[in-house]
Structure 1
């Protein structure tokens, strides 16, 4: 009787091991630093408008235009990265973005609202597409699929921290000094973070994959049915987030507790961070498409208790749950996008995904603002957005599975396999 040794189970992936991999800590830290202006600039612009006597309405308009310009320009910058590489897109964008933010307090104060609007729109158009670029870099930085899974979850989970740290930092700088200093700090952090990423070896070595034809002679399209359905579903996620932010403000006004407007989104972001940490620590059974649908269902279920018109403390606790599943939805969506998008247009596909969430968030914010005085409708909007996401994901499920020849993960500048000749 012979015994056959069973293979050793794969060791558990730790975040220490992931962050200790070459270039990972620098790229992740640089991307997070460079993306802080995403959360800082809209707040700093409003505070500058107030301090300069322009009024909150004009400041809100400028802030919205900054976000809109940044979102709409994402696919263009993604397409440019896929054609010419990341450095040639990141570096000029960071210089123009930082320069315009610094120029706003000087030129905007003396040039009138038209010049201020032009400066803000120009700054938004030139915000570096670091998130899409980072997602495209992960395969070449971490060829091991399990480490890449952990890194992607960590990347998605830490996004929420930007929207906690960023506004707090702007508020502290504006209160201690001036909003102009807050704008300068925003510009400096964006430039420093972008430089850290753009000058890192993986970014310098990264080259776009040349356009190729599949076995059927057809170029794989970015507008495939699966990607269109996926991007549509993520607009519902953005709608939910935008509606939640306004609902939190409405509850804060109703309860007479102004801090709730920041505490509730912070609790949601904390849940997102913790969910990302948990999801990335292990490999989960099933397919990515299955994970996406399951996480979408859990995301919806987490919002349903709000329909009971909970009090502020209970509501703050409840939003942690859908926050935890937000990271899973986003991480699985990026993985699905990678499997469905043409290899030579991956960065652009990621940028469209980001734009879909941003567009949905703008719609959710606008509608929730109209319904803020109706407590039931305001509390129901996050659930409505999550329900839309789940319905679209379930309808799209057959189209989210790659059916043709697909490129392997790590297709950007992936080193060829080593070959050893037996002697």
Structure 2
């Protein structure tokens, strides 16, 4: 059985991004993971482009994409739980195959003029089978850096920046392929990247956490969601997701209303760029404050940024406001993942990470739907109030129930070689 690298291993010395990327075996799973994660941000937009191209209806296109997003948000944590129990490869291989087949079915149904309801039937498994690679990568970092918890903050910062990168590049790829070729080709590229990248990532079993195995007869292993702190963070990330969904729809509507629809991608790209820059810098700081304090502070900064969006008079002002708002995104994500890692046992970490990722996806679907309804009724500026409402509720929950984010009292664990791994992250979370 694989064991965590001992504390005194010289190959794991140093701090910062350089030390992180020098972790033995890291590049063997990071590169295929990037290929498998890139399509994550291509699926929703690819579905919209395909369905609108074949039916002429934005309403139907948005609904089909929303079904895929909700299916992903609800089923993703269950696949994460199975990965903890039976191993990442055992779950990932069939998942990416099902995803590729479902996307192929969706393309064929849309192109053949099949009834609208059949599109929903194909979109649901396509979303449900989106591989939870981001959560699995974070679980691998926890496994590899278990003896160096201080470096986990850097690892989570690196992963959040990677997430932002995919959300900048993914939509650009989907739109570019759809424009130069055909929306069907864009979705086909998404499915191919997911399949090939997922299989390559699954093949690197040497860096994956050791599966816990099925529960003993008569015992039922608790879900990560049984932790009140995980539920609180999932609620906060739901509010964060509404910001993503609101901005995707409202920025587009605002730019089109201003007669500059082609600039909407640039505005959203600067929002994501602000988050990427903040994430890189956040990962370089040796924080002395507790993670709970940082979570509340970062989320409050996010709410402050969202509070200005609806009042922007023109596209230039909106761009500046979105850039400021984006500065709070990655730090909030990084701190949330740092906290959730300390709230659950080793055998439930992938599931815990997927609950947060799923909450973002569900919030994105809710935010885009609510913002779209407000925009249709009252104009693009009012659409931004959905982001303020969603993030505001998340902040209220964090402030009033932040005590739930205290990690349970750790028990010293003996690992191979007789060394004792200390739960330093858990102690830091309790001090927060």
Contact kept in structure 2, 1:93 and 1:127, CA below 8 Å: yes
Equivalent in the alignment of 2:136: 133
Equivalent in the alignment of 2:360: 357
Equivalent in the alignment of 2:194: 190
Equivalent in the alignment of 1:390: 395
**SS of equivalent residue, structure 2 residue 240:** helix
Q: Give per-residue Cα distances to partners, 1:36-60, cap 9 Å, x unaligned.
A: 2221122222222234346433332
Equivalent in the alignment of 2:159: 155
Contact kept in structure 2, 1:251 and 1:260, CA below 8 Å: no
Equivalent in the alignment of 2:174: 170
Equivalent in the alignment of 1:3: none
* 1:208 pairs with 2:212: yes
Equivalent in the alignment of 1:236: 239
Contact kept in structure 1, 2:224 and 2:230, CA below 8 Å: no
- Gap regions ≥5 residues in structure 2: 1-12, 421-432
Contact kept in structure 2, 1:340 and 1:406, CA below 8 Å: no
Partners of 1:416 and 1:227 in 2: CA distance: 32
Contact kept in structure 2, 1:137 and 1:206, CA below 8 Å: no
Contact kept in structure 2, 1:160 and 1:269, CA below 8 Å: yes
Partners of 1:357 and 1:59 in 2: CA distance: 20
TM normalised by structure 1 equals 0.86
Alpha-carbon RMSD across the aligned residues, in angstroms, is 2.8
Partners of 1:223 and 1:96 in 2: CA distance: 29
* 1:39 pairs with 2:44: no
Quick one: structure 1 residues 135 and 79, their matched pair in 2 at CA, closer, same or farther if it must change by over 3 Å? same
* 1:223 pairs with 2:226: yes
Quick one: structure 1 residues 368 and 396, their matched pair in 2 at CA, closer, same or farther if it must change by over 3 Å? same
Partners of 1:64 and 1:147 in 2: CA distance: 36
Equivalent in the alignment of 1:102: 104
Deviation at 1:318, TM superposition (A): 2.1
Partners of 2:307 and 2:52 in 1: CA distance: 37
**SS of equivalent residue, structure 1 residue 112:** coil
Partners of 2:395 and 2:212 in 1: CA distance: 33
TM normalised by structure 2 equals 0.84
Quick one: structure 1 residues 232 and 204, their matched pair in 2 at CA, closer, same or farther if it must change by over 3 Å? closer
**SS of equivalent residue, structure 2 residue 211:** coil
Q: Computing the radius of gyration over CA atoms, which structure comes out larger, 1 or 2? A: 1
- Gap regions ≥5 residues in structure 1: 1-10, 213-217
Q: Give per-residue Cα distances to partners, 1:76-113, cap 9 Å, x unaligned.
A: 10121122111110011011111332343335433713
Partners of 1:158 and 1:186 in 2: CA distance: 17
Contact kept in structure 1, 2:140 and 2:208, CA below 8 Å: no
Contact kept in structure 2, 1:45 and 1:63, CA below 8 Å: yes
Deviation at 1:142, TM superposition (A): 2.6
Q: Give per-residue Cα distances to partners, 1:103-152, cap 9 Å, x unaligned.
A: 43335433713443322222222111112212211112233223322121
Length, aligned pairs only: 401
Q: Give per-residue Cα distances to partners, 1:213-259, cap 9 Å, x unaligned.
A: xxxxx979732322222222221111222222222122112211102
Contact kept in structure 1, 2:69 and 2:365, CA below 8 Å: no
Quick one: structure 1 residues 100 and 257, their matched pair in 2 at CA, closer, same or farther if it must change by over 3 Å? same
Contact kept in structure 2, 1:237 and 1:386, CA below 8 Å: yes
Q: Which of 19, 23, 26 is 2:25 aligned to?
A: 23
Deviation at 1:204, TM superposition (A): 5.2
Partners of 1:105 and 1:382 in 2: CA distance: 32
Partners of 2:58 and 2:396 in 1: CA distance: 38
